[in-house]
Structure formats: C-alpha cells, structure tokens
Structure 1
C-alpha cells in the first residue's frame, strides 16, 4: 500500500511539473535524416517516383539532389515542378542541391546560376552546393585555390541576393598541401564566412588523413552540412554501412554544435550491398538509434 501511495504521489508531482512547464515534456526533438540522392544513382533516373517513395518509406525526410539539367530545367527528364510534387507527395524536402559549376570554374561564365537559383527556389531549398571539380580544373597551387575562393565568393553573393546559401562540398583532393597549408584551408580562410558554408564530407576528410574534430576546432561554425558515409575497415577506398566501418561517428556527432551542423545527408558512393535500398535502411536505423 505504501509503495502504491508513493508511486501516486511521485506521479502526481511529475504531472504537476509538466502542467506548469509543458515545454519540459518535449525537449529532445531529433534531427531530420537526409540522403544524397547520388546514393541511388543507378535506379533514381529510371524510376524517380518509385525510388523517392522507397526513400520516404525507409524513414528519410530530406534529400539532396544531383543531376539537374539547366537546359531542360529538369532532373532526369522530370521538370523541377513535377519533381517538387513527387517530393511533397512523399513528405520529402530537397534542402540542398548539388549543381554543376565546372563550366564556371573553367570560364568564369555564370549563365547557369540563374537556372540553379530558380530551381532551388521552386524546391523550397536552402542551399546551392558546389559538389565536385573535374580533375583537369583542380588547383595545383595556393594561388589557384585563392582564385577559386574568389569565384566562390562571387557565386555566394548572387545566391545571398536570392535568399539562398552557398555551400562547398569537398573530396580528398582539396587537402593537397601547399607549404604549411592546403587547398581546403585556403578555401576556408579566403571565403566570406557570412556568405559561404561548407558541406564537410566526413569520409573524404578522414580518408585524406584529417580528423573532423580538429577542423571543427579550427573553424567553428563553418560546417553547416555534413555528408555521413563510413569507411570500410579493410579498404579505405570503399564505403561501409554507417556503424560498420572505421569512422567514429559518435565522437563526431557529439561535436555537432561546434561544427555548426544544421543538417546532414547519408551517402554511399562505393561498395554497395547487393540491395542498395536495404543498405540505406541499415544506415538510417543506426543513425536514428545511435547518433541523433
């Protein structure tokens, strides 16, 4: 009887506290889990509706696009407006987009940027993201990276004027050393922190020999987006499902505030399991249960 009485009293105290301060009842809202659509690059172009539906079924709520054609104003033959409708029907939002800036890097021509901005606005996105630089266009000196940074600032100004943010996504080549610095450091130091964010690809940073935690300490708040993909324990050139590889994601996610991370996207580039959709679900479940 005494135990029951104590339980009722304690329960009443808890409920009374929540009634006074209801915000205490719901203080641990989980982050959205996004996916870079490149992960499903083999099937997405053939069946956009089906693949996006399967992504939503796996639990994802955000996506990062690739494959936009400014000439056609479409993703793999599907207009931006229709693509947005498919996303909406599945409860998905394209918060970031990987657009091709190689022509700009080569020629300085920004004629495609207008269509990129327009597409991002239709999708309700936050970010226009520079994803990849062709090997023949990559910098071979510190001055080359300073020139690239100046170009990125120029793009960022136009994105900002349109109410969007610009981000730069890395691979490993940006970490090429030039004396006591490297290309990535130059980009971080030479771009305007008010206009340019960085989408840190955790896998590529680790593969290049850099600890993401050190980058967070050196440049706090700059890495507002992440690509989350794991590294195979036996072969660093291969990916692994999240939690099965060599990267300590728990330590990295513990410092997300220092990083400035607002959102992240799962990505698998290499070493698919036989069923990619099962693979992304495995990674989703690990992230959901262990990292956020």
Structure 2
C-alpha cells in the first residue's frame, strides 16, 4: 500500500495568519491537497482553524481539489460536539481528533477518566459514521508504574471508538519506538504526523534523557518552555528513520494518511514544506 501524504496546517500557521488565500493556494500549487485542520477555538467556532472562512474553504475545495481529511479540535466539549461534527460533516471531513493532553504524574485514575471521555467523544463521532483519533506528544510516554500513559490509553479506550494519530517525532522524543508501536497496535492507527530531528540538536532526542524529569507533572507552561525551535527539521534532513516508518505504516490495515507537520521552521514555512515534499518524493511507497 502506498502512503498518501498530506499536511497539518499548523505547519504554515504564520503564513495563514498573514495570507490565508495565498497560503492555501501555494499548498495546492505544490500538490498538497490533503489538509488537516486544527480548530483551537472550538468553544465558539466550528471551522478548521487558522481564521479560514468556511466560504473560502468551500470555494477552494471546488476549484483546487482540496479535501479536509482530518481536524484536531480543542477544547473537546460534549455540549459543542454536535455542532462541531455537523460542520466537519458538511465539508466532507470524516475524522476529528484530540490535539494535546496532559496527565498529572502517576495519576492512573485520571488517565482512566480521560479514556472514558475519549470513548464518549468517539461514540458521538461513530453515530455519524465519523472517526475520533488521539494525537500524542512526548508526555504520553511517561511511565506510571509499569505502563506508559500511551499504553494505558490503548488499554482503557474502546478500539472501535478511539483511533490514534501517531506523531512519530514526539514518540521518539518520549523514548518510544514508533515502528514498534505500529507493530504492537496495528489496528489502532489511522494517520501519523511526520517531521524530523536535526543531527546537531543541542539536546538529546529523548526528552527524558536530561530535559524532563521522568516523574515531572508536565503541563502546558512546562511544555512550551521546553519546546525549542532549533530541535525541528524538515523531513529527510535529520536523523529519524523515515523510510522504516513509511514501510511499517504501509502494513497497517486502517492507516490512511501520513501528514507533514513541522512545528517550527528556520526560514520560510512554505520553503520548509517544499523541502519536506521533495524528500518525501525520494522515499519508496509514497503517493504525493
């Protein structure tokens, strides 16, 4: 199976803020027509985020063949969920997801409560024949006893209601092996995020190797303080085994898309996207 490539629009968030129409057309010109949104104002807005008007999005979908293949929703709120799902349904998107979560260190009962909540979100999505997915950072690979948070989420979420979008970069930064995760939970993954880690990074790949205490209670302020722009690289320019990741993902029965997501770029966001696309074209098993 060839892996279809798309993009998480967070990668070009500054470009979208300055010129949404020009940025989306530039992505389409590169052949990037599979887009994942990120609605960070979900309590008051129903869209795909980044200030993109629904009317313009509809026009772009008609004229440029753009499709929305997923959208992260923050915050997830059960009262708002029907309107959120209805909007996504109208634009043809069948997947919504959780973008970021934090877990008080060692609190397994809290993880279970969140898993119950994710099951309920997934149940609401399934009633509309839509999929709910969970997207990770490095926090999920902390050990709470003999299990990581990620393993606990796999254990306590319903496989039929909660799927996963594996951010391979952040998994590596949590000390996990994405390829092994694909092999261990082959039915759970529907998408992934791909970026790269620079060889000259000032810190080790694993955040728990000196950057974060293994027993830290990680929250958003700590996450933002420790997130360093110089520790992100364009696909194919760093040290991650991307061909091996592609090969492993291609064996998964429910896997749909590998999405470029680069949280920070040293130069122009669109130039960084172009560099990553050129790299993707050199890998085997890729459908651009």
Which residue of structure 1 lines up, in the alignment, with residue 274 of structure 2?
281
Q: How many angstroms does 1:265 deviate by?
A: 0.7
1:158 paired with 2:124, answer: yes
- Alpha-carbon contact 2:41-2:75 (below 8 Å) kept: no
- Alpha-carbon contact 2:141-2:148 (below 8 Å) kept: yes
Structure 2 CA distance, aligned partners of 1:154 and 1:139?
A: 21
- Find the partner of 1:145 among 93, 111, 114: 111
Structure 2 CA distance, aligned partners of 1:76 and 1:262?
A: 24
Encode CA deviations 1:49-108: one digit per residue, 9 max, x unaligned: 111000111121200001364424444554434323223322211110011135x4xxxx
- Alpha-carbon contact 1:175-1:208 (below 8 Å) kept: yes
- Find the partner of 1:119 among 60, 79, 87: 87
Q: TM-score, normalised by structure 1?
A: 0.81
- Alpha-carbon contact 1:33-1:61 (below 8 Å) kept: no
Q: TM-score, normalised by structure 2?
A: 0.82
Which residue of structure 2 lines up, in the alignment, with residue 24 of structure 1?
none
1:264 paired with 2:258, answer: yes
Which residue of structure 2 lines up, in the alignment, with residue 88 of structure 1?
62
SS of 2:163's partner is strand
- Find the partner of 1:249 among 236, 242, 247: 242
Encode CA deviations 1:155-196: one digit per residue, 9 max, x unaligned: 100000012100000001111111110111111111111121
| Residues 68, 145 of structure 1: alpha-carbon distance in 2 compared, 3 angstrom cutoff | closer
- Find the partner of 2:158 among 192, 195, 198: 192
Q: Structure 2 stretches of 5 or more lacking a match? A: 206-227
RMSD over aligned Cα atoms: 1.8
- Alpha-carbon contact 2:38-2:50 (below 8 Å) kept: no
Superposed, which structure 2 residues align to 1:150-229 within 5 Å? 150-229=116-195
Which residue of structure 2 lines up, in the alignment, with residue 15 of structure 1?
none
SS of 2:126's partner is helix
Higher helix share: 1
Which residue of structure 2 lines up, in the alignment, with residue 11 of structure 1?
none
Structure 2 CA distance, aligned partners of 1:240 and 1:77?
A: 26
Greater relative contact order (Cα < 8 A, sep 6+): 2
Structure 1 CA distance, aligned partners of 2:259 and 2:172?
A: 17
The aligned length equals 254
